[in-house]
Amino acid sequence: MRRRWFPGLFLFCLLRPLAFAYRGEVENIPPRSYFETVRRELEGARTSITVVLYLFSLQPNESRSQGFKLAESLKKAKDRGVAVDVVLDQNFDFVGEEGASVAAKNLAAYTYLRKNGIPVHFDDAATYTHAKAVIVDGETVIAGSSNWSRAAFEVNEETNVLIRSKETARDMLKTLRAIRREEPADPGPTVPVPAEFLLNPELFGRMVSQPDERAFDTYLFLLRQASDSIRLDYQKAADHLGIESMGREAYRRQINKTLEKLQDRYGLISVSKRFNAEAEITLSPLPAQEVMRVPAAYWDLGWNRRLSFAGKAFYLVHQRESSHSPLEPRWSMSLQSLASRYGASPWFISQGVTDLRRNNLLEVEYDEAGLNGPGDRAPNIYTLNPLYDPKELDRSLADLRNRYGAAKVERAQKAASLVYEDCYFLGIQRLVELEDRYGPERIQRAMEMVGAKSPDNPKRTMGYLIATIRGLD
């Protein structure tokens, strides 16, 4: 249906406290027609496209998905000379339809667009951009409730309109262009790790199957020294390995045993030891056609000592797999395929995933059960969160205990652990506030409902837990 007038109330909701009515052509967009309408307008753009979204969800290895097709339409428009500008929100909604995190929500879309030369920015951290707007050629506006996500395209009952009005487009562009923008945080310096180390079953695969955590940690420590020839500082190595409390003679003995393993069992180094002196180490060359980049913050922030062996191993696996994903940093692969590729058991990989999740370093998206039950699911989708300082988390939790009491915070942490968000401070804080509002009995009821779901149920998330608490009578 088309009409030749535009209601001021709609602009009131989208733009400013004052309502204005403009003449224009308005068309309702039925829920299942939104994707085709947007793609048609993007592919017909002649001069400019502005897209501002709360959520732009891209799935790895799904080049036929509707979200990916819209990303491709933006790329094609840029390639034919259209000025494209994209702004994405970076904040977190506890009951968001995709259950995504602050860091992960729009990062795959951002990375894909940036790699293809499309100007794209996040809003700044203090801005909550909830808009879902597309403006084409300074004349056509598509606005409403639809995010660019599978749920919005295929499931939700959304409301959207298409407006052809230069005045409306001009006013909306003025508002949207005022959104403050920023770039993602720079990960800082990185350490190159040869992919051959992970892919050779006699190296990484052998270490994780032994298990030989100390050899793994020591080799990464040596790689971080950024030199083929290394004079080993035993005190520094002991601190890195977390064995400094053994005493000098004991930790030197343990480190020397590990160096001998790296030389004789794995062939990764050559070592020359002298009594009561620093060891001379030469790294054995590995094929350098492919390397992963591990942030120096992994060591600087103490994650090499805080994570389990499985967590550290999966962190490296993630670095390689995400770099090969068409929608980096997100990627997807079955546990069985990962086990075959890296020489680790599916159980070990699963433990690594859980450890990173509980430390708020990994987001996992589980597919809904298919027509033939849980076995019909697509592989999980993984996205790494930025490394953070765990000491800051400890301080924040201490402040929370001082404000609300240790018992209440402990109950909130227990609830958070139910959905693998043990270290997500904002989630823990929200659970504390909800207990203040509704009481502990209501939180417990919600925990029982969510806890009854299988560990890999897509609804076993912080967002679903929060929504369950709010929805109880």
The reply to whether 112 and 245 lie within a common domain is no
- The 10 Å CB-count burial string (b at 16+, else e) for 320-330 is bbbeebebbbb
Helix, strand and coil percent figures for the chain, each rounded to 5: 45, 15, 35
The reply to whether 396 and 455 lie within a common domain is yes
Mean pLDDT per 10-residue segment, the chain (473 residues): 41 46 81 93 94 83 78 93 89 45 68 86 73 92 90 86 92 84 75 95 96 97 88 93 93 96 97 85 89 94 97 97 81 93 96 96 76 66 89 96 97 96 92 95 96 87 89 83
The reply to whether 68 and 162 lie within a common domain is yes
Tell me the pLDDT tens digit for each residue of 345-404.
999 999 999 999 999 999 888 876 544 555 667 888 898 888 999 999 999 999 999 999
Given a contact cutoff of 8 angstroms between Cβ atoms, the answer to whether 314 and 341 are in contact is no
The reply to whether 140 and 197 lie within a common domain is no
- Structural domain ending residue among the three candidates 283, 311, 338: 283
Q: How far apart are the first and last CA of the chain?
A: 41
In the prediction, which pLDDT does 104 show?
60
Given a contact cutoff of 8 angstroms between Cβ atoms, the answer to whether 75 and 67 are in contact is no
Cα separation values, 190 from 4, 206, 269, 294, Å: 57, 25, 21, 5
Domain count, the chain: 3
- The structure's pTM equals 0.73
Q: DSSP states of 346-377 as a string?
A: HHHHHHHHHHHHHTT-EEEEPPPPBTTBGGGP
Given a contact cutoff of 8 angstroms between Cβ atoms, the answer to whether 51 and 82 are in contact is no
- Structural domain ending residue among the three candidates 253, 283, 313: 283
The reply to whether 222 and 177 lie within a common domain is no
- Structural domain ending residue among the three candidates 182, 201, 230: 182
The reply to whether 177 and 74 lie within a common domain is yes
The reply to whether 67 and 153 lie within a common domain is yes
**Which residue segment(s) compose the domain that 229 sits in?**
190-283
Within a domain: residue 68? yes
Within a domain: residue 171? yes
The reply to whether 228 and 130 lie within a common domain is no
In the prediction, which pLDDT does 62 show?
60
In the prediction, which pLDDT does 125 show?
61
DSSP 56: B
In the prediction, which pLDDT does 263 show?
97
Given a contact cutoff of 8 angstroms between Cβ atoms, the answer to whether 248 and 256 are in contact is no
